[in-house]
Structure 1
Amino acid sequence: MSAYTSDLLRTLDTRGYLHQLTDGAALDALAAHAVVPGYIGFDPTAPSLHVGSLVQIMLLRRLQQCGHKPIVLMGGGTGKIGDPSFKDEARQLLDEQGIAANVASIRRIFERFLTFGDGPTDAVMLDNADWLDRLEYIPFLREVGRHFSVNRMLSFDSVRLRLDREQSLSFLEFNYMILQAYDFLELSRRAGCRLQMGGSDQWGNIVNGVDLARRMDGVEVFGVTTPLLTTADGGKMGKTVAGAVWLHEDQLPHFDYWQFWRNTADADVGRFLRLFTDLAIDEIARLEALPGAGINEAKKVLATEATALCRGRAAADAAAETARRTFEEGAADQALPTLAVSGPIAIVDALLGLGFCASKGEARRLVAGGGARIDGEKIASETAMVEVGPEPVRVSAGRKHHGLLVRG
């Protein structure tokens, strides 16, 4: 049983979101009797976020479900710098037009997970460019910079690991943690924000913000981080052979998104159901306890519920039906990922073009191992050519990955 008394921390603890807290007892007491505005920052480096950001999006959803106020902070200002945390090299910087376009695109994602509005627990989206772009350098150094110890900043893992590898860390990037701390201070002043949340790699930045608010304004604010999310085999969440698992449907089809969750390892099903769906804990316990092949039913529930949150119930149900037809009836369906071809195509190129393999070498190994099929028939030779007529041709890589070749 959780020792927390607030719905917020009890929920986060039960569902596996909690890793570090700056003052758990005080935050628990606050959340038990007051609406807590809390924020997470997202740098708009692309038109869509990917599955690697989903824990944080769900964290804001849990905050709102427990009667508190989510603040989505877009890094229109810090995005011009780039967070150096655990990066091997500096991020390519975007211009203001590119950042603005990405912010507008990303907002559509959050509107599926959160309720926006003017009410006390309605979500709001803010942009730190609103205050960072107006800072004057010398006053900022005098008023804010004096509260930061370079010695301490160098000790944070996000910086130290980069330096230990003797990789360049620009002064521009080094300023990121000061600006993120300043974000927390500004949000405390502008929106009464009392909580910053983030992944475990953000712990140092969050602690800096907590300290800055206390030093400059005498305000008690709090920090929470989530565990580093890896799959049961130790891999990074959301990284696949075909690339990032994007949350926007214009960058990843509904079926591919559904299939990503359906391919979850047995050992991860219960954890992912708690993190990425709204199913009740008792129902999740029942699903993860299903014996033998029953775990596959739990995976289908995970895929459908996670897809419904991100893409809508209709898209989730359609993807589930496509999967049923493909796997249970062996039927091709137009909702599968497709590759248009103008003539015969080598099986190796088809596997590569559909995103099932990352290289031709990997595709050849798949064929040699008997894992490639055309319309259900095993392909014996890596030099085999595939003819596409008026009807689509179904290409399978193993048992779980299916796509269509269509005449283009």
Structure 2
Amino acid sequence: MNFVEELRWRGMLHDIMPGTEDLLNKGMVSGYIGFDPTADSLHVGSLAQIMTMIHFQRAGHKPFALVGGATGMVGDPSGKSQERNLLSEDVLQLNLAGIKSQLEKFLDFDCGANSAQMVNNYDWFKDFTFLDFIREVGKHITVNYMMAKDSVKKRLEGETGMSFTEFTYQLVQGYDFYYLWKNHNCALQMGGSDQWGNIVTGTELVRRKGVGEAFALTTQLIKKSDGTKFGKTEGGNIWLDAEKTSPYKFYQFWLNTSDADAKTYIRIFTLFDRETIEALEAEQDAAPHLRVLQKALAKDITIRVHGEAAYEKAIKSSEFLFGNIGIEFLSELNDDEVLALFEGVPNFNISQSELQQGINVVDLLAAHTAVFSSKGEAKKMIQGGGAAINKVKINSIEDVYNTDTLISGKYLVAQKGKKNYFLIIAG
């Protein structure tokens, strides 16, 4: 497998320094990508770089995942309009542990010569004094060179300006490259296209300080066809951590991808070969309503991030809400999974003691909760056959519900029509 050609046909390649492809064709190359440790989980925005590393390793090269314990204490100005809050060492260590456990799902850390390796730049910066830094690094890169970078220009032209901390970030990242080049034979740094300036500073430092040669490669920044930011929803980031973003919500994120984006994402975020992808695209073009690409994409990524069992549960959750799976499915879920399933759905609380005595269905849906705006509306809907509790149509306005009706001793699911759900929680 040719690494660069793989990125090209998948539409991932953005910039590549002359000589990089020749280097990669000569034999195994060590290369790295840096990951931002500002949270204890990566999000789907990081997946493009993870996929780059997967392709790199599959092509026979050795990937280094650099988690920026030191650079996370500074903050990268690239693509940012204002300075980020600095993180404490304790928070950073917690974040590093979470990120490492996630990367181990994707990369092989025990496969011989090209085993993946994780490094933390805090290890070589923690005892590096400021005076040592400006002597060993600062003298090799001119201010004119640093000022010419787009990430610096944009911030200096903006209203907030740029702190000295952020201005020196490219030197810190550049030294990372030099350190890995010198100590781990890393000849290539990869990253998103917004990192080109920082990466090239590293190659320049290797040339000037190490009197050596290093190379750079960047991938396309992922954007949605409608211009909105990839990886964001109204609820915020889509995380790889199941506790931050449930597998059901994660699956739905990919399933709800537009047709245009699905054709892009299927190439970037899966390991399907070209023949498989082109066959899926042909199916999609012939019957767009079947959403073949979205289903294949969502299945593949959900299984690789969360596992087969989580994917199956996500499918059942979808069928519960939009298909024919019965109410008993709720008893298979824990409280967090139930709440995740009904995220964005109106929910109401009632007391166990009141419910134990029995509550008339009209009072339950229009007085104790606001499933219906009035008792009159509730009666009309029930008598018309348009209301259900626990996926069973309500037969009469005289029906009474009590704690025996609760699912898992805690939940009632009300429906107004087929698609309007309401979660009632008895506490």
TM-score under structure 2 length normalisation: 0.79
Give unmatched runs, 5+ long, in structure 1: 1-5, 349-372, 378-386
Gaps spanning 5+ residues in structure 2: where?
Answer: 331-336, 351-367, 373-387, 393-401
Q: How does 1:53-68 map to 2 (within 5 A)?
A: 53-68=46-61
Task: Say whether 1:35 aligns with 2:54.
Answer: no
Structure 1 residues 104-126: Cα deviation after superposition (integer angstroms, max 9, x where no partner)? 01111101111113721111110
Tell me the secondary structure at the aligned position of residue 204 of structure 1.
helix
Q: Check conservation: 2:108, 2:115, Cα contact below 8 A.
A: yes
**Match in the other structure for 2:266:** 273
Q: What residue is the counterpart of 1:21 in the other structure? A: 16
- Of 307, 310, 332, which residue of structure 2 is paired with 1:312? 307
Partner residue of 1:342 out of 329, 334, 349: 349
Alignment of 1:62-211 (within 5 A): 62-117=55-110, 119-211=112-204
Q: Which residue in 2 is equivalent to 1:407?
A: 426
Whether the 8 Å contact between 2:37 and 2:96 is mirrored in structure 1 is: yes
User: Matches of 1:396 and 1:76 in 2, distance apart?
Assistant: 49
Structure 1 residue 400 displacement after superposition: 10
1:323-362 correspondence to structure 2 within 5 Å: 323-329=318-324, 331=326, 333-334=329-330, 337=340, 338=342, 341-343=348-350
Letter in 1 for 2:349: S
Judged with a 3 Å threshold, the aligned counterparts in structure 2 of structure 1 residues 396 and 85 are, in CA distance, closer, same or farther, namely farther
Question: Aligned partners of 1:400, 1:309: CA distance in 2, in Å?
Answer: 31
Q: Which residue number in structure 2 is paired with residue 301 of structure 1?
A: 296
**TM superposition shift of 1:342:** 2.5
The range that moved more, 38-47 or 289-298, is 289-298
Picking from 406, 417, 421, the partner of 1:390 is: 406
Cα distance change on mapping 1:230 and 1:295 into 2, 3 Å:
farther
Do the aligned residues in 2 keep the contact of 1:40 with 1:56 (CA within 8 Å)?
yes
Compare 236-245 and 334-343 and name the one that shifted more: 334-343
The residue identity in structure 2 corresponding to 1:315 is A
Closer, same or farther in 2 for the Cα pair 1:118/1:329, shift >3 Å?
Answer: closer
SS at match of 2:64: strand
Note if contact 1:269-1:288 (Cα within 8 Å) is conserved in structure 2. Answer: no
Deviation string, structure 1 residues 86-144 (Cα, Å, up to 9, x no partner): 22222111111110011001111101111113721111110001111121222321231
Q: CA deviation at 1:286?
A: 1.4
Counterpart of 1:232 in structure 2 is: 225
**Contact 2:371–2:422, Cα closer than 8 Å, also in 1:** no
CA deviations 1:156-175 (Å, max 9, x no partner) are 22121122122131111111
Cα deviation for residue 401 of structure 1 reads: 11
Residue of structure 1 aligned with 2:242, choices 249, 256, 261: 249
Distance in 1, matches of 2:206 and 2:122, equals: 19
Does the aligned pair in 2 maintain the 1:86–1:159 contact within 8 Å? no
How many Å separate the matches in 1 of 2:217 and 2:406?
Answer: 56
Q: Deviations along 1:71-93, whole A, 9 cap, x unmatched?
A: 01011111111111122222111
Alpha-carbon distance change, 244 to 19 in structure 1, aligned in 2, over 3 angstroms = same
Q: 1:11 to 1:396 in 2, by over 3 A?
A: farther
Distance 1:168 1:67 in 2: 44
Q: Distance in 2 between matches of 1:44 and 1:326?
A: 36
Task: Report the Cα distance in structure 1 between the residues aligned to 2:26 and 2:159, rounded to whole angstroms.
Answer: 49
Is 1:10 aligned to residue 5 of structure 2?
yes
Give the C-alpha shift of residue 405 in structure 1: 5.1
Write the distance in 1 (CA, Å) between the matches of 2:45 and 2:222. Answer: 8
Specify the structure having the higher radius of gyration (Cα).
2
Given the superposition, is the C-alpha separation of residues 401 and 11 from structure 1 closer, same or farther in structure 2, using an over 3 Å criterion? farther
Q: 2: distance between equivalents of 1:229 and 1:401? A: 34
Separation in 2 of the partners of 1:345 and 1:190?
Answer: 65
Q: Report % sequence identity.
A: 39
Confirm or deny: 8 A CA contact 1:375 1:394 kept in the other structure: yes
Letter of the 1:269 partner, please give it.
A
Residue deviations 1:273-311, cap 9 Å, x none?
111111121111111222233551221111010111111
The 10-residue stretch of structure 1 (140-149 or 199-208) with the greater mean CA deviation from structure 2 = 140-149
TM-score normalized by structure 1?
0.83
| C-alpha RMSD over aligned residues | 2.9
Distance 1:292 1:402, change over 3 A: farther
